[in-house]
Structure 1
Amino acid sequence: MAAYLHPGVYVEELPGPQLISPVSTSNTAFVGLAEKAPAYNKAFQITSWNQYVDTFGSFMWGCQMPFAAYNFFLQGGSICYIVAAEPGGAAASIAAGALTVTAASLGAWGNKLSVEIANYPSMPDDPPTQVNPVFALNVYYTMPTVGEALTLCDQLVEHYAAANKLTKIQISGATAYLVEAFPGFSANDLRKTGAAPCNMELRVNSASLFVRVAVATAPDPKRPDNMAPTSLSRGAGDADSTPIDLAKALQALDTVAEISLLVAPETVSTSDLGAQRQKVLEVVGYCERRPHRDLFYIADSPFTATIDEIVAFKTGRASSSGKVPEGNALNSSYGALYYPWISFLNPSNSRNVPIPLSGSMAGTYAATDQAVGPWQVAAGINYGALRNATGVTRILTDTDQDVLNPNGIDAIRQFPTYGIVAYGGRTLTSDPSLIYISVRRLMIQIEMSLYRSLQWVVFEPNTQRLWGTVTRDITEFLTQMWQAGALFGAAAKEAFQVQCDAANNPPALQMQGQLVVDIKIRPVFPAEFVIIRIQQATLGSS
């Protein structure tokens, strides 16, 4: 106690209550493939798409994470942590004079690309070997011959070609799509100054989804000779994409505490739907094994799945088509599954690209959290609008959703007037108390807010004074949550209860160094089914 020796006014600061602040629920972790990385299997904070491009590169065919990150920011996300998994395999490539053209990502899929060097503009009476000063670089993707099975990559290209009305030609008896064309180059576009990229490298590599171009340095560069469509070669790895070690990449998140959402879009990058389900289960398992269970996983559905197949994928039964084998069901309150895919307009080439939902939904979650809170499900025409979407890969009907919704599959619907919206808000679980995404995410927020804000209690004297202080602080926090609309009740006492007293802290527990706080809350549930009852009645005059 201070000594008061002379008359006067003494001002003293007294300790106030230890405020419990709600933790952020919108920071998102992304795990997947990138064009480059400062280090593989390590998390880096990113706060804008431009920063992502500077750090991890741009869009690549065969890699879903760049699309997911772009649409996360486009839909309203602001902070994310990126983990670039170390890729396996080798990229297909071909040399054409001073040019080396390489598939944008690693994997055997690049062997289906062909490159053409042609005069620009091409003239019908041009001799094939005549070289004009101006040339074009054309990129084709060759489809399997009749009777040959389509890979996932083939099906994505087929959808991409149809959506963008791409030119179709024949190469060695097989159908090929002109997926990209870069006209108007001359020898000057191959000229380099120091280590800076030349004009052709800048133009192609900033806009291409399918290839990257490297130009050999020469004092007097010459344009490459004309070349008929010729296949890239030496691509090695998975037929659909670049193989990664998902478990090792997820481990990079073990030391990242400031995340609440998880996106792992590369789970879709295989034609084997059984293997794809195992990848989703692996990510769900990671969320459930986190020490504080603080992550919610937004899972992606298979691109090719029918209604029966996506239900089989979710429930663990075998599909009637045989494409989905029997296996473990996706049953967890720490994840949600969205179906089908959407298309978005790729800003680098103004073409529609089919993408899975996880990145877009993470951004939608983040925007909804900022506007309301995690207790508001990111679904419906107000909070589920996918402004980035230009289409859906399958139009769902009410009858389709009658099958999807009870099985915990969240539908993406296209409605007149309202456009494309997320129209489901359920988790993967069969537990009725945690069936809604908003309830699980609210529980995560409350639990993590208490965990982080009550660290000061550890090693305090376990007395009635401490019990009262803890009760007061938690009550204040939950009152604020109730006032914000997160908890149900006409009064705070109807919305929650907090107990920390002698009844639940008997001497035996105190001697073991334990302090017990019992909390009961009434979360708000979404109005999933709105029933309007209208009855015809004869109303008498008053």
Structure 2
Amino acid sequence: MPNYPSPGVYVEEAGPSGRAIAGVATSTAAFIGPTRSGPVGLASPPLYSLAEFEHRYGGPQALALSDVRDPAYRLHFMAHAVRAYFANGGNCLVVLRTARNAAAAAGVLLAARTQAGRATLRARHVGAAGNGPVRLRVVGVPVRAIDLSAAPVGSLISMDRDGVETVYAGSGAVWLDATGQSLALSDLGATAQLLTLELQASAADGSAVQWSRLGFAPEHPRWLGRVLAPQSDAAPLWADIGAQVSAYALLAAVRALPILAAAPGDGLAWRRLLLQRGRDGLAPIAGIASSRGSYAAALAALQAVPDVSTVATPGSSAYPDRAAIQAALLAHVEQPQRWQLAVLDSAPQLSLGGVQQQRAGIDSRHAALYYPWLVVADPLAPAAAPREISVPPCGHVAGLYARSDATQGVHKAATNLAVAGALRCEYDIDQTEQDLLNPLGVNCLRSFAGRGLRVWGARLASSDPEWKYVPIRRLLDYLQASIVRGTAWAVFEPNAEPLWARVRQLVSDFLLQTWRDGALLGSRPEEAFFVRCDRTTMTQAELDAGQLVCLVGVAVLQPAEFMLFRIGQATLK
């Protein structure tokens, strides 16, 4: 107890009396697949809008996958899935891009003499989206001798004497031309100009990006090779400048480029380049974790991303390697303590028998299959000539998961909710066909008169009768992840009754709140859950091994799939 020197009123700050288990987030989804741009095989930071995705990974323009002949399957399925995800209530998304080795980044040569004397502008990422024009121009600002002391190190100035231009590099009082001749500042005339470079390019979403006041020499603080550095991901381009490319050579190369007619009143002529040879390559494959750009490599990178609850591979069911990609996804979500659900798409244009055959090849307690594909309006088509395209349903479904979690809780099935952004189903399922598919664990999307398009199924693609429903899988994943994370502090604590009592109390308090939220069955807490952590749950051998065993049981709510009303005729007496 503190020693107070005199009578008075004192305030003491007290920390929390105990720990509490907080529920983990369940609204974050991860989409894996080919995109028009963006880093390959790396998990994106959390994306919170379609605009963020398009800025980083490109818009809905089609991909140029050379081994996919049908234009309908060259669509940028990732972009359409992301659009559907946010339109249906999704609020947090992680993206991982896949690409085959045949994909290449676009580039254009500025200057070349030897390999060390090359200056090249390259697209930041592989893909045909990197192909396109780049504009450069040299900007000259009149300069006086008194101004040179403030010029950055490595600046260039040009002097025009009797129609002959000489360029000098340096700073302060020391300026040398390409031959080593110095400039007497007293000779600096009215025609002297401080030279910098301006560059324009396009980002992945097509928006213009411009850099100004770029330097030609490595000593310059805004040297082209530094501002557009290879390790930076902030720009759509990077400058690959060899050691032998001098500032003078780079300036001469830019000035020698073809001139693009300047806009009226622009005053300075732009030099136009064309980035070329960017390729999307072949359709991505499952591959192995060590093969950069494969689905397996992206799934391996996803293991380090926390709080992802649903995983999908939009469009992969249309690619030649779809069976292996599906198998890789299922192997990922079935790993211990992964706590993720795979949202599987049926193959496109699949008949009733085809989807039954696809379902027969899946048996997982951590996956749900949705059928059929959806028809949506093409966002690239003009309003005067609308077009329709078919897209996989996983983006819509993952968005509905997030919407249902936010409004009703993870224990509620994300079904019977209106699907936004879809015109109709690729195949119209009737009640008879639903009766056939639902017991098999195929979740159908159906259109109802007056109610629109809705998800009409919440079953797992599992043969285990104890693991039948999606909301039960997601609720138990949520409970397990929350308890494991909320009790991590107990590691290395003395494994005795005081610790066991604290663990029992923490888990019980968390499950009590879960029951109060309506996620567990029972009219009383005793009917909804139990928590045991004592001598009855641990053997002496487990205690000697330093193992704490806590047994938790919960009574989960089953979805009301079948509503039965028994109606009889009463006889009046």
Match of 1:447 in 2: 480
Going from structure 1 to structure 2, the CA distance change for 1:473 and 1:539 (only over 3 Å counts) comes to farther
What is the total number of aligned residue pairs between the two structures?
A: 400
* Paired amino acid for 2:351: T
Q: CA deviation at 1:265?
A: 1.3
Q: CA deviation at 1:202?
A: 6.1
TM-score (norm. length: structure 2): 0.65
Structure 1 residue 312 and structure 2 residue 348: aligned?
Answer: no
Amino acid at match of 1:254: Q
Written as runs of structure 1 = structure 2, the 5 A alignment for 1:362-381 is 362-380=398-416
Aligned position for 1:219:
260
Q: Distance in 1 between matches of 2:98 and 2:519?
A: 37
2:310 aligned with 1:261? yes
Candidates 449, 452, 463, aligned match of 1:419? 452
On the 8 A contact 2:60/2:379 being kept in 1, the answer is no
CA–CA separation in structure 1 for the residues paired with 2:442 and 2:323: 14
* Match among 330, 334, 338 for residue 366 of structure 2: 334
1:139-187: CA deviation from partner (whole Å, max 9, x where unpaired): xxxxxxxxxxxxxxxxxxxxxxxxxxxxxxxxxxxxxxxxxxxxxxxxx
SS in 2 for 1:59: coil
Offset of residue 64 of structure 1: 1.2
**Equivalent in the alignment of 2:79:** 66
| Partner SS for 2:368 | strand
State the distance in 1 between where 2:305 and 2:556 align: 28
Equivalent in the alignment of 1:55: 56
CA distance in 2, matches of 1:426, 1:517: 29
| Paired residue secondary structure (1:58) | coil
- Residue 300 of structure 1 deviates from its aligned partner by 0.6
Q: Does 1:492 align with 2:525?
A: yes
Correspondence for 1:344 among 358, 376, 380: 376
TM-score, with normalisation over the residues of structure 1?
Answer: 0.68
Aligned residue in 2 for 1:478: 511
Match of 1:514 among 533, 542, 547: 547
Q: Is the 8 A contact 2:373 2:425 kept in 1?
A: yes
TM-superposition CA deviations, 1:387-416 (whole Å, max 9, x none): 211111000011111111111110000000
2:548 and 2:39 map into 1 onto residues whose CA distance is: 45
State the shift of 1:252 in Å: 1.4
Q: Distance in 1 between matches of 2:468 and 2:29?
A: 22
In structure 2, the CA distance between the partners of 1:314 and 1:297, relative to structure 1 (3 Å rule), is: same
- Shifted more, 340-349 versus 483-492: the winner is 340-349
Structure 1 residues 506 and 2, CA, compared in 2 at 3 Å: closer, same or farther?
farther
| Closer, same or farther: CA 333–202 of 1 in aligned 2, 3 Å | closer
Query: Structure 2: any 5+ residue segments left out of the alignment?
Result: 63-73, 107-125, 130-196, 208-256, 263-276, 286-292
Alignment partner of 2:547: what SS? coil
Q: CA deviation at 1:15?
A: 4.2
Match of 2:538 in 1: 505
Partner Cα distance (2:345, 2:260) in 1: 50
Summarize deviations over 1:45-85 as a string: whole Å, max 9, x none: 21111111111111132231111111111111111111111
Aligned partners of 1:41 and 1:86 also within 8 Å: no
8 Å Cα contact 2:49/2:86 also seen in 1: yes
1:425, CA displacement in angstroms? 0.2
Mapping 1:107-118, distance limit 5 Å: none
AA partner of residue 49 (structure 1): L
Q: How does 1:62-461 map to 2 (within 5 A)?
A: 62=74, 63-89=76-102, 195-196=199-200, 218-220=259-261, 238=282, 241=283, 245-270=294-319, 272=320, 275-289=321-335, 291-315=336-360, 329-349=361-381, 351-380=387-416, 384-461=417-494
Greater C-alpha radius of gyration: 2
1:100 aligned residue: none
Measure, in 1, the Cα distance between the counterparts of 2:318 and 2:539. 55
Q: CA deviation at 1:44?
A: 3.0
- 2:265 alignment counterpart: none
Unaligned stretches of 5+ residues in structure 1: 94-104, 111-192, 204-215, 222-232, 316-328
Change (3 A) 1:39 1:285: closer
Identity %: 30
Q: Secondary structure at the match of 2:388?
A: strand
Match of 2:24 in 1: 23
Are the structure 2 counterparts of residues 49 and 217 from structure 1 closer, same or farther at C-alpha, using a change threshold of 3 Å? farther
Distance 2:340 2:40 in 1: 23
Distance 1:220 1:3, change over 3 A: closer
In structure 2, C-alpha distance between the alignment counterparts of 1:266 and 1:396, rounded to whole Å: 21
Contact 1:25-1:369 within 8 A present in 2 as well = yes
CA contact (8 A) 1:488 1:522 kept: yes
Alignment-mate amino acid for residue 376 of structure 2: F
Deviations along 1:511-530, whole A, 9 cap, x unmatched? 22111111110111100111
Across the aligned residues of Structure 1 and Structure 2, the Cα RMSD in angstroms comes to 3.1
8 Å CA contact retained: 2:20, 2:506: yes
Query: Contact conserved, 1:277 with 1:313, CA < 8 A, in 2?
Result: no
Quick check: 447-456 or 347-356, which moved more?
Answer: 347-356
Is the 8 Å Cα contact of residues 346 and 352 (structure 1) preserved in structure 2?
yes
CA contact (8 A) 1:27 1:80 kept: yes
Deviation at 1:257, TM superposition (A): 1.5
* Deviation for aligned residue 1:11: 5.2
Offset at residue 372 of structure 1 (A): 1.1
